[in-house]
């Protein structure tokens, strides 16, 4: 197992409480507003973790397919939301999502992109599963210089430059691309006592024509 896989398998039982220290529910609400979500529709939560985005989508009355590579994270979600209801759980990888082409109304990915090996390929894959008119919203970190996030939380990318993200959306065939501030920082103190990060969070929206 890679360091990142091991990390998420290990932290899964405490991820939801760790997440509360990093950022608030306002992040997902901003994403849902950007996508203009409508109750009853189908969304995919990619890199779903312990279900931060899924929980908010359930509150808004959507059906959700939650995808993550971590068995432990999906087990946490099943404990929280049960099985056989509005949430379906699928093990999957960023580059090979276990969903059909043009099958969902919305795709959300919160704090997922900075963990994947190839962000442009991951965005192409998320665009592939959107129905025509469907919307992708990625919430993630702006570029930063807090190296301890790589060492302590297995981040692969130190955030992103928004023009790069906008270009990857366009290259994935998405239109009406908009990238804006969520209005909240992701905050983390280093375990080594060598720093405290406060990194702004962006919401990137694109629509499949």
Ligand X SMILES: C[S@@+](CC[C@H](N)C(=O)[O-])C[C@H]1O[C@@H](n2cnc3c(N)ncnc32)[C@H](O)[C@@H]1O
Give, as one character, the DSSP assignment of residue 76: H
Three-class DSSP category at 20 = helix
Q: Least distance to ligand X from the beta carbon of 144, Å?
A: 15
Q: Which range in 46-54, 126-134, 163-171, 181-189 contacts ligand X by CB under 6 A? A: 46-54
Q: Within 117-176, which residues bind ligand X (CB under 6 A)?
A: none
- For the chain, the straight-line distance linking the first and the last C-alpha, in angstroms and rounded, comes to 38
Q: Read off φ and ψ for residue 97, nearest 5 degrees.
A: -70, 140
Give, as one character, the DSSP assignment of residue 94: T
Q: Is 52 in the site for ligand X (CB under 6 A)?
A: yes
Closer to ligand X at the Cβ: 59 or 176?
59
Q: Which residue has the tokens 């390929």?
A: 121
- C-alpha to C-alpha distance for 165 and 62, rounded to whole angstroms: 27
Contact residue for ligand X among 55, 64, 70, 134 (CB under 6 A): 70
Contact residue for ligand X among 30, 87, 115, 203 (CB under 6 A): 115
By CB under 6 A, name the binding residues for ligand X.
8, 19, 47-49, 52-53, 68-70, 73, 93-94, 110-112, 115-116
């Amino acid at each position: 197992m890679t360091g990142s896989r091991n990390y998420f398998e290990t932290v899964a039982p405490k991820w939801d409480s760790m997440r509360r220290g990093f950022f608030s529910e306002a992040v997902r609400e901003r994403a849902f507003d950007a996508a203009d979500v409508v109750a009853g529709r189908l969304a995919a939560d990619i890199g779903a973790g312990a279900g931060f985005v899924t929980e908010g989508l359930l509150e808004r009355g959507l059906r959700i397919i939650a995808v993550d590579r971590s068995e432990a994270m999906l087990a946490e979600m099943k404990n929280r939301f049960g099985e056989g209801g509005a949430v379906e759980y699928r093990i999957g990888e960023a580059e090979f999502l276990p969903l059909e082409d043009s099958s969902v109304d919305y795709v959300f990915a919160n704090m997922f992109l900075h963990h994947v090996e190839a962000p442009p390929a991951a965005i192409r894959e998320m665009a592939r599963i959107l129905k025509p008119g469907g919307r992708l919203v990625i919430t993630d970190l702006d570029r930063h210089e807090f190296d301890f996030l790589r060492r302590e939380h297995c981040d692969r990318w130190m955030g992103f430059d928004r023009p790069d993200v906008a270009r990857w959306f366009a290259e994935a065939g998405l239109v009406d691309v908009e990238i804006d501030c969520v209005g909240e920082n992701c905050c983390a103190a280093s375990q080594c006592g060598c720093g405290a990060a406060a990194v702004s969070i962006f919401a990137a929206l694109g629509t499949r024509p």
